[in-house]
A and B are shown apart, each in its own frame.
Chain A
Amino acid sequence: MSPHESPHEVALTVIGTPRWSLEPDPRTPPGDPATLLTINDDGVITAFSGKVEYGQGIRNGFAMAIADELDVAVDSVRMILGDTNLVPQDRGTTGSASTRTVGIQLRRAAATARLTLIDLAATRLEVGASSLKTLAGRVVSEDGSHCVEYADLLSGQMLSVNIPDLVEVKAVDEFQLMGRPARRIDAISRVTGGARYAQDVVVPGMLYGKILRPPSYGAKLVQVDTARAEQVSGVVSVVKDGDFVGVVADREDAAEYAVEAIRARWDENRDTVSDWNIPALLKERAEEPTTLREDGDLSSAFFSAARVFENTYYVPYVSNAQMEPSASVAQWDDNHLTVWCAHRGPFAERDNLAAIFGLDTSAVRVITAEIGGSFGTKTPTVSHEAARLAKAVNAPVRVSYDRAEEFGWSTVRPAATFEVKSAVDAGGKIVAWDYTAFHAGENAFRGQRGADTPYDVDNVRIAVAASESPLQSGSYRSLGGATNHFAREVHMDEIAIGLGLDPLEFRLRNLSHARLRACLVAASKTFGWASREKKPGVGFGLAIGYDAGSFTAQCVEVLVENREARVIRVMVGFDCGLVVNPDGARNQIEGSIVMGMGTALWEAVEFDGGRVLNAGFARYRVPRITDTPEIEVVFTGDDDMPSSGAGEPGIVPIAAAIANAVRDATGTAIEELPIVPRL
Chain B
Amino acid sequence: MHLKVNDESLEVAVDAERTLLSVLRHELGLMGTKYGCGEGNCGACTVLIDGEATRSCITPVTSAGGREITTIEGLANGDELHPVQEAFVEHTAFQCAYCTSGFIMSSAALLDRNPSPSDAQIQSALSGHICRCGAYGRILKAVKSASGEGGAE
Q: Which residues of chain A come closer than 8 Å to B38, judged between CB atoms?
A: 402-403
- B115 contacts chain A at the CB level, 8 A cutoff: no
- A628 contacts chain B at the CB level, 8 A cutoff: yes
- A252 contacts chain B at the CB level, 8 A cutoff: yes
Report yes or no: A625 in contact with B129, Cβ–Cβ below 8 A. yes
- A245 contacts chain B at the CB level, 8 A cutoff: no
Q: Which of B73-123 contact A (CB under 8 A)?
A: 73, 75-76, 81, 85, 88-90, 92, 94-101, 104, 122-123
Report yes or no: A594 in contact with B136, Cβ–Cβ below 8 A. yes
Query: Which of B32, B95, B127: most chain A Cβ within 10 A?
Result: B95
- A591 contacts chain B at the CB level, 8 A cutoff: yes
Separation of A595 and B96 alpha carbons in the complex (Å): 14
Task: Give min CB distance, A64 to chain B, whole Å.
Answer: 13
- A195 contacts chain B at the CB level, 8 A cutoff: yes
- A526 contacts chain B at the CB level, 8 A cutoff: no
Separation of A410 and B99 alpha carbons in the complex (Å): 20
- A183 contacts chain B at the CB level, 8 A cutoff: yes
Residue in A closest to B31 when the chains form the complex, CB atoms: A200
Report yes or no: B98 in contact with A587, Cβ–Cβ below 8 A. no
Separation of A192 and B35 alpha carbons in the complex (Å): 16
- A55 contacts chain B at the CB level, 8 A cutoff: yes
Q: Could you give, for residues 302-327 of chain A, a 1 whenever the CB lies within 8 Å of some chain B CB and a 0 otherwise?
A: 00000000000000000001111100
Task: Give min CB distance, B55 to chain A, whole Å.
Answer: 12
Known A183-B92, A193-B71, A196-B31: A323·B85 in contact at CB below 8 Å: no
Residue in A closest to B105 when the chains form the complex, CB atoms: A193
Report yes or no: B41 in contact with A191, Cβ–Cβ below 8 A. no
Residue in A closest to B98 when the chains form the complex, CB atoms: A372
Q: Which residues of chain A come closer than 8 Å to B138, judged between CB atoms?
A: 587, 590
- B131 contacts chain A at the CB level, 8 A cutoff: yes
- B137 contacts chain A at the CB level, 8 A cutoff: yes
- B132 contacts chain A at the CB level, 8 A cutoff: yes
Report yes or no: B42 in contact with A193, Cβ–Cβ below 8 A. no
Query: Which of A190, A375, A403: most chain B Cβ within 10 A?
Result: A190
Report yes or no: A587 in contact with B92, Cβ–Cβ below 8 A. yes
- A561 contacts chain B at the CB level, 8 A cutoff: no
Task: Give min CB distance, B95 to chain A, whole Å.
Answer: 3
Query: Which of B32, B96, B135: most chain A Cβ within 10 A?
Result: B96
Separation of A187 and B92 alpha carbons in the complex (Å): 7
Q: Which residues of chain B come closer than 8 Å to A588, judged between CB atoms?
A: 95
Report yes or no: B140 in contact with A625, Cβ–Cβ below 8 A. yes
- A617 contacts chain B at the CB level, 8 A cutoff: yes
Interface residues of B: mostly helix, strand, loop or mixed?
loop
Q: Could you give, for residues 14-51 of chain B, a 1 whenever the CB lies within 8 Å of some chain A CB and a 0 otherwise?
A: 01001000100110011111111111011010000000
Report yes or no: A55 in contact with B41, Cβ–Cβ below 8 A. no
Q: Which residues of chain A come closer than 8 Å to B140, judged between CB atoms?
A: 625, 628
- A197 contacts chain B at the CB level, 8 A cutoff: yes
Contact of A253 among B22, B41, B92, B96 (CB under 8 A): B22
- A618 contacts chain B at the CB level, 8 A cutoff: yes
Interface size on A, residues (CB 8 A): 58
Known A188-B89, A251-B26, A624-B127: A57·B136 in contact at CB below 8 Å: no
Contact of A373 among B26, B98, B139 (CB under 8 A): B98
Q: Which residues of chain A come closer than 8 Å to B73, judged between CB atoms?
A: 192-193
Report yes or no: B96 in contact with A370, Cβ–Cβ below 8 A. yes
Report yes or no: A590 in contact with B134, Cβ–Cβ below 8 A. yes
Report yes or no: A195 in contact with B97, Cβ–Cβ below 8 A. yes
Task: Give min CB distance, B87 to chain A, whole Å.
Answer: 9
Task: Give min CB distance, B39 to chain A, whole Å.
Answer: 6
Q: Which residues of chain B come closer than 8 Å to A625, judged between CB atoms?
A: 122-123, 126-127, 129, 131, 136, 139-140
Q: Which residues of chain B come closer than 8 Å to A591, judged between CB atoms?
A: 95, 133-135
Known A187-B92, A321-B132, A403-B38: A193·B33 in contact at CB below 8 Å: yes
Known A188-B89, A625-B123: A617·B134 in contact at CB below 8 Å: no
Residue in B closest to A624 when the chains form the complex, CB atoms: B127
Known A55-B133, A191-B81, A199-B35: A617·B95 in contact at CB below 8 Å: no
Q: Which residues of chain A come closer than 8 Å to B26, judged between CB atoms?
A: 251-252
- A159 contacts chain B at the CB level, 8 A cutoff: no
Separation of A627 and B132 alpha carbons in the complex (Å): 13
- A54 contacts chain B at the CB level, 8 A cutoff: yes
Q: Which residues of chain B come closer than 8 Å to A322, judged between CB atoms?
A: 96, 98, 132
Report yes or no: B81 in contact with A192, Cβ–Cβ below 8 A. yes
- A184 contacts chain B at the CB level, 8 A cutoff: yes
Q: Could you give, for residues 592-628 of chain A, a 1 whenever the CB lies within 8 Å of some chain B CB and a 0 otherwise?
A: 1111000000000000000000001110001111111
Q: Which residues of chain A come closer than 8 Å to B58, judged between CB atoms?
A: none
Q: Which residues in B have some Cβ–Cβ distance to A below 8 Å?
A: 15, 18, 22, 25-26, 29-39, 41-42, 44, 71-73, 75-76, 81, 85, 88-90, 92, 94-101, 104, 122-124, 126-127, 129-140
- Would you give 14 A-B contacts (Cβ < 8 Å), ordered by A? A55-B95, A55-B97, A55-B133, A56-B95, A183-B89, A191-B94, A200-B31, A253-B15, A323-B34, A323-B131, A325-B35, A403-B38, A588-B95, A594-B136
